[in-house]
Amino acid sequence: MAYRKRRTKRISRCNKAYFEDEIGARLTLAMIHRKDGSRREKLETRAYNCPNCGGYHLTSEPERTHAA
Ligand SMILES: [Zn+2]
């Protein structure tokens, strides 16, 4: 398998919170739910790997799968 080099520039192309790995994203997710679970209208529910910046973001949208 090809070795994926990490970009030195950590500029997210997305206007979202950026996480280097899924663990960090999930931890933040858990914290959000613990802190703001009842206050926020739209809660992020999952972390996903972003093809644009290679990092992870949180989203409140349900996962889109190819499964019918
Ligand atoms: Zn991104």
Backbone angles phi, psi at 29, to 5 degrees: -55, -45
- Let me know: does 27 contact 65? Beta carbons within 8 Å: no
Mean pLDDT over 39-50 rounds to 85
Of 9 and 54, which is predicted with more confidence? 54
Q: Give the per-residue pLDDT at 5.
A: 65
Mean pLDDT over 7-30 rounds to 82
* Mean pLDDT estimate for the chain: 81
Measured in angstroms, how far is the CA atom of residue 52 from the centroid of ligand 1?
5
Measured in angstroms, how far is the CA atom of residue 13 from the centroid of ligand 1?
6
Measured in angstroms, how far is the CA atom of residue 36 from the centroid of ligand 1?
23
Measured in angstroms, how far is the CA atom of residue 1 from the centroid of ligand 1?
23
Measured in angstroms, how far is the CA atom of residue 68 from the centroid of ligand 1?
26
Where is 59: in which H helix or E strand?
strand 56-59
